[in-house]
């Protein structure tokens, strides 16, 4: 069942579940674009192809809030808002070790195929984020992260580089009991046509987050 947070003629805001791709990779793995196009087709009895614009992505094993554009105009304006940093994405993450203070990471990232890494020189792309410490438990820290840039695997790479890899991150940390402890908690942006400020939030309740639900 699809958890729809908001829908109008221009937008569709939904929860992406862990294990679902943002868009098809050519395999039989479920993906949000295909699922939501079928949802729109069935709900409105639309014949033929259905337009749905993908304006941002979440990794397969990251759940949370996503917005899709139901018109090309909405897609264009949302993409422009992302480029102009007027589209705010906030994440929750649980990382290894104790972080005592709120802070900011600013590094230069380089990408090689499906992996990114911090470059010791400035030949990479600038990656910035700030974080707020919410709680510590069992030598792990729950943080709220505001992305200032949107680089490939940015949160995972930067926290790993600064010696606090995310729990369950097999690529940049170590294998864990549950999928990676990263969740797209909040989206804030202006409606592409009315300009009304919109804000959508979801709280994670599964995996590693089960031990921290009372702190958010």
Active site amino acids: 59
Beta carbons within 8 Å of 132's beta carbon, 6+ residues apart:
102, 143, 144
Strands 88-96 and 53-54, how do they pair? unpaired
CA 41 → CA 54, 63, 182, distances in Å? Answer: 17, 24, 31
Residue found by looking up tokens 């589209």 in the block: 87
Beta carbons within 8 Å of 191's beta carbon, 6+ residues apart:
10, 11, 197, 198
Q: Which residues pair with 11 in a beta bridge?
A: 69
Q: Which two tokens stand for residue 113?
A: 């195929």
What is the Cα–Cα distance from 209 to 204, expressed in whole angstroms? Answer: 6
CA 80 → CA 76, 84, 93, 149, 192, distances in Å? Answer: 6, 6, 27, 14, 10
Q: Which residues pair with 53 in a beta bridge?
A: 69
């Amino acid at each position: 069942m699809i958890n729809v947070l908001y829908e109008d003629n221009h937008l569709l805001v939904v929860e992406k579940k862990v294990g679902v791709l943002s868009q098809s990779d050519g395999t039989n793995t479920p993906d949000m674009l295909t699922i939501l196009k079928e949802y729109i087709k069935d709900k409105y009895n639309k014949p033929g192809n259905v337009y749905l614009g993908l304006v941002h992505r979440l990794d397969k094993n990251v759940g949370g809030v996503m917005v899709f554009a139901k018109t090309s105009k909405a897609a264009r304006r949302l993409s422009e808002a992302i480029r102009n940093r007027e589209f705010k994405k906030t994440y929750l993450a649980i990382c290894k070790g104790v972080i005592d203070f709120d802070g900011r990471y600013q590094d230069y990232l380089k990408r090689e195929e499906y992996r990114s890494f911090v470059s010791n020189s400035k030949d990479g792309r600038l990656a910035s984020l700030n974080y707020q410490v919410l709680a510590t438990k069992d030598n792990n820290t729950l943080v709220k992260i505001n992305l200032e840039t949107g680089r490939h695997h940015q949160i995972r790479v930067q926290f790993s580089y600064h010696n606090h890899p995310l729990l369950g991150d097999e690529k940049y940390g170590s294998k864990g009991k549950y999928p990676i402890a990263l969740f797209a908690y909040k989206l804030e942006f202006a409606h592409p046509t009315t300009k009304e400020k919109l804000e959508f939030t979801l709280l994670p309740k599964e995996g590693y987050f089960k031990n921290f639900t009372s702190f958010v």
